[in-house]
Amino acid sequence: MSAVAAARRRATDWAAPLTTLAVGALLAAIAVGAGGGQALASATRVERLLILVGGAATATALLVAPPRPRVRGGLVLALLAALAALAALSISWAVEPSSAWIEANRLFAYAAALAAAIALARVAPQRWPSIIGGVLLATTAVSAYALLTKLFPEWLNEFELFARLRKPFGYWNAVGLMGALAVPACLWLGSRREGPLLSALAFPALGICLSVTLMAYSRGALLAAAIGAIVWFALVPLRLRGATVLIIGAAGQRSSPCGRSARTRSPPTAPRSTSARRPATSCSCSSSSWSRSSTSPGSPPGSSPTRGRCAPARRRRTGVVLLVALALTPVAAAGLLATTDEGLGGSLDNAWSSLTDTSEVGPANDPSRLTATGSVRSRYWDEAFQMWRDDPVTGLGAGGYATARPRYRMDLLDVRHAHGYVPETMAELGIIGAAISIALLVAWIVAAQLTIRSARARAGGARDARRHRRRARRARDDRLDVVDPRHRRRRPGVRGLGRGPGTERELGRLRAIDWHDLRRVVAAAAVVLLALFTAWTAWQPLRSSQASDDALAAMDARDFDRARELADTARDRNPLSVDPLFDRASIEQAAYDREAAERALEEAVRLQPANWIGWMRLTDHRLFEQNDARGALEAAKIAIYLNPRSWDVNQRYLDATRRASGRAGEQAPAATP
């Protein structure tokens, strides 16, 4: 073998693990860097990264990928882009245009990430295991960090008040969903035959991620993990291996210190020895042999050559038994409910009532919430559907739920989201947004089904081709033995046949960049320009916020001219936000220019007339700065209509009413510089 061939072979061997590590590191960095996605600075950085990476990947695929008659997932990408475009278009009627801009940037970042995935699938279609492996690495790393915050709270999470896992996202449901995302990936990794040492890592990874899902006390995350496992067992034929991974991983989570601490105070005990050997004729799909192989160095699941294999008929029957048991799980649950004092009907009726009752009090932040059915989400959903009924076609505009909720709420909680994609989408984007979302879901399911079917067909064709080559090789060898055994030798390259397409064959299919192909070059250039423009657009709200911070700092330094200039800069960068106008009003008040401050506040309420905060600021200015009780009362009436349950708004309304009617005594003179 020449040096060039050896180097190429080494590059082929290292391509898959390096790709997996790169994908895992990128996903983990995005998850940790974005946090919960609510902080503007961190979310904007991640969105710009995704948009630029998606544009670069798409342009590269357009230049080097081989031509194909159709793009798998193209319709999904088009519908996601249409949803992002609808969010951007909703700026024109949104109750909070600045929030609609931010939500549109988020959706465009999602579309860019999907475009990058489609581009990578066209360039390297055989590298899909690296994507799943990267997802598994990222979810396991984030889940392990979340567990460490409870093991070492004085270093990583000193000011946490609840026992639920909240780091690194700041929201426990997000942490639980991160652990649930790893369940199908762990089942896939533990069911593979290639790389037995790597497959054995699926067992501890699944235990870590399940521990995080449980310790987050997130019922939605547990439901998502169950749905992921059900879909995997329904679609993937390797049900016995997957069941073994799930059983052992769940048992490991139950016996771990984290899982045990949620149920008992007793210290963990050492596991019993597993050094006993089973006969060589034991079934390779049995749980005990898988457990032994996962804990024995050098003999992970499915890799021992001394164990026999189950017959195909036996594996098929066992798989059918697993599916039947899975299907009978709801029947068993119904039987357990029927044995209670309330009976099956009464238990279901109580559970449905507690789930949909808007006056229900949410469960406590302890393990008891995992078995509770009550939730305050029904209250948020009911409010979202009330908003949708007021404007059913187009909705309030993207990101408008938080601004409009004070007019519909029955409590004093400040909630930014409806805690449900369907009610929030219908409230903010109306029937149009819901229709696009349903079409997007259907298109994704169809594309996934076609991709799986095509992959199975290619795998079957590859198996037939390998079988044909093996038969031809045996026939040739037999002929060589008959003629003269001394001349029997293999041709160069026969050993590599049947290995399937690797990195060398993938790179061989890539076409060289032809700069004379104007269609590809123009399309790639257009994608790059679109990505740059979208990234620049997504950056503007953050630049406006930074200029506002600098303006307030200049105001504190009594440099009012500089503060006004920075406030105008913030206004130019984000003309949809009222924050620069509020800053300008504060600057003018500090400079004792009350007329200019009132003009800024009046401009803010004209920009966002459905935002109660602007009317509240205008009420305070007229009441305490301008000494205009009647003008303050007019503004307070609108503020109390938009937020009738706020104590501050009601107090301002009472103050303005007393002053306007003269019952507050002699009005204080206006402040003078």
Residue 509: band (very low, low, confident or very high) from pLDDT cuts 50, 70, 90: low
Q: Is the pLDDT of residue 292 over 50?
A: no
CB contact at 8 A, 92 and 604: no
Task: Count CA atoms closer than 13 A to 266's CA, side-chain side.
Answer: 6
Q: Is the pLDDT of residue 103 over 50?
A: yes
> Is 519 among the domain residues?
no
Mean pLDDT confidence for 316-326? 68
| pLDDT at residue 570 in the model | 94
> Is 414 among the domain residues?
no
Quick one: 249 exposed, middle or buried, by C-beta within 10 A (0-12, 13-18, 19+)? buried
* Most trustworthy range by pLDDT among 80-84, 141-145, 304-308: 80-84
Q: Is the pLDDT of residue 361 over 90?
A: no
Measured in whole angstroms, the distance separating CA 418 from the mean position of its chain's CA atoms is: 17
Helix (H, G, I), strand (E, B) or coil at 192: coil
Cα-atom radius of gyration of the chain, to the nearest Å? Answer: 31
Residue 95: band (very low, low, confident or very high) from pLDDT cuts 50, 70, 90: very high
What digits encode the pLDDT tens for the residues 136-195? 999 999 999 888 888 888 888 777 777 788 888 888 888 888 889 999 988 888 887 766
Residue 298: band (very low, low, confident or very high) from pLDDT cuts 50, 70, 90: very low
Peptide bond before 268: cis, by omega within 30 degrees of 0?
no
> Is 584 among the domain residues?
yes
Regarding predicted confidence, which is higher, 379 or 105? 105
User: Would you state the structure tokens that stand for residue 549, as one six-digit string?
Assistant: 């911070």
Alpha-carbon gap, residue 232 to 230, rounded angstroms: 5
> Is 291 among the domain residues?
yes
Q: Is the pLDDT of residue 483 over 80?
A: no
> Is 576 among the domain residues?
yes
Regarding predicted confidence, which is higher, 586 or 461? 586
Alpha-carbon gap, residue 365 to 163, rounded angstroms: 7
| pLDDT at residue 461 in the model | 66
What single letter denotes the amino acid at residue 201? L
> Is 668 among the domain residues?
no
Q: Is the pLDDT of residue 646 over 70?
A: yes
Q: Is the pLDDT of residue 267 over 70?
A: no
Regarding predicted confidence, which is higher, 302 or 73? 73
User: Would you state the structure tokens that stand for residue 250, as one six-digit string?
Assistant: 């769940």
Q: Is the pLDDT of residue 555 over 50?
A: yes
- Average pLDDT across the chain, whole number: 77
Q: Is the pLDDT of residue 310 over 60?
A: no
Q: Is the pLDDT of residue 586 over 90?
A: yes
Q: Is the pLDDT of residue 334 over 70?
A: no
The neighbour count for residue 463, using CB atoms within 10 Å, is 11
3-state secondary structure 143-164: HHHHHHHHHCHHHHCCCCCCCC
| pLDDT at residue 492 in the model | 41
Residue 54: band (very low, low, confident or very high) from pLDDT cuts 50, 70, 90: very high
Residue 427: band (very low, low, confident or very high) from pLDDT cuts 50, 70, 90: very high
| pLDDT at residue 356 in the model | 61
CB contact at 8 A, 133 and 20: yes
Q: Is the pLDDT of residue 472 over 60?
A: yes
Q: Report in angstroms the alpha-carbon separations of 566 from 539, 584, 601.
A: 17, 9, 17
Mean pLDDT confidence for 270-296? 38
Regarding predicted confidence, which is higher, 254 or 655? 655
Number of structural domains in the chain: 2
Ranking 113-127, 320-334, 415-429, 565-579 by mean pLDDT, the lowest is 320-334
| pLDDT at residue 154 in the model | 80
DSSP 243: H
Alpha-carbon gap, residue 203 to 301, rounded angstroms: 10
DSSP 622: I
Residue 374: band (very low, low, confident or very high) from pLDDT cuts 50, 70, 90: low
Regarding predicted confidence, which is higher, 272 or 209? 209
Alpha-carbon gap, residue 313 to 437, rounded angstroms: 42
What digits encode the pLDDT tens for the residues 234-249? 778 777 787 878 888 7
| pLDDT at residue 441 in the model | 93
Alpha-carbon gap, residue 73 to 229, rounded angstroms: 24
533 φψ region: left (φ > 0), alpha (ψ -120 to 50), beta (else): alpha
Mean pLDDT confidence for 517-527? 87
Share of the chain above pLDDT 90, in %: 32
| pLDDT at residue 375 in the model | 72
| pLDDT at residue 354 in the model | 61
Alpha-carbon gap, residue 376 to 354, rounded angstroms: 10
Alpha-carbon gap, residue 18 to 400, rounded angstroms: 43
Question: Would you say how long the chain is, in residues?
Answer: 673
Burial 352-376 (b: 16+ CB within 10 A, else e): eebebeeebeebeeeeebeeebbbb
| pLDDT at residue 475 in the model | 67
> Is 21 among the domain residues?
yes
Mean pLDDT confidence for 76-105? 94
What single letter denotes the amino acid at residue 486? R
What single letter denotes the amino acid at residue 506? E
Residue 268: band (very low, low, confident or very high) from pLDDT cuts 50, 70, 90: very low
| pLDDT at residue 459 in the model | 67
| pLDDT at residue 297 in the model | 38
Mean pLDDT confidence for 650-669? 73
Which DSSP string do the residues of 28-85 spell out, in sequence order?
HHHHHHHTTS-SHHHHHHHHHHHHHHHHHHHHHHHHHSPP-S--TTHHHHHHHHHHHH
Query: Angle at Cα 114 formed by Cα 109 and Cα 119, nearest 5°?
Result: 125
| 283, β-bridge pairs | 308
Helix (H, G, I), strand (E, B) or coil at 498: coil
Distant-in-sequence, close-in-space partners of 543: CB < 8 Å, separation ≥ 6:
573, 574
Share of the chain above pLDDT 70, in %: 69
CB contact at 8 A, 186 and 199: no
- Catalogue the long-range contacts made by 656-663 (C-beta closer than 8 Å, 24 or more residues apart): 656/619, 656/623, 656/629, 656/632, 657/633, 659/623, 659/629, 659/632, 659/633, 660/629, 660/630, 660/632, 660/633
Mean pLDDT confidence for 51-76? 83
Which DSSP string do the residues of 115-149 spell out, in sequence order?
HHHHHHHHH-GGGHHHHHHHHHHHHHHHHHHHHHH
Alpha-carbon gap, residue 281 to 285, rounded angstroms: 12
CATH number at residue 655: 1.25.40.10
Mean pLDDT confidence for 1-27? 69
| pLDDT at residue 528 in the model | 94
Residue 124: band (very low, low, confident or very high) from pLDDT cuts 50, 70, 90: confident
| pLDDT at residue 463 in the model | 64
Alpha-carbon gap, residue 208 to 185, rounded angstroms: 13
Alpha-carbon gap, residue 209 to 201, rounded angstroms: 12
Alpha-carbon gap, residue 83 to 425, rounded angstroms: 10
Alpha-carbon gap, residue 217 to 165, rounded angstroms: 8
Domain that holds residue 560: 536-661
Mean pLDDT confidence for 592-607? 92
Residue 299: band (very low, low, confident or very high) from pLDDT cuts 50, 70, 90: very low
Quick one: 136 exposed, middle or buried, by C-beta within 10 A (0-12, 13-18, 19+)? buried
Ranges of beta strands (E only) in 230-305 are: none
Nearest to 654 by CA among 672, 673, 629: 629
636 φψ region: left (φ > 0), alpha (ψ -120 to 50), beta (else): alpha
Nearest to 422 by CA among 401, 446, 408, 406: 401
Regarding predicted confidence, which is higher, 641 or 299? 641
> Is 95 among the domain residues?
no
| pLDDT at residue 78 in the model | 93
The neighbour count for residue 75, using CB atoms within 10 Å, is 17
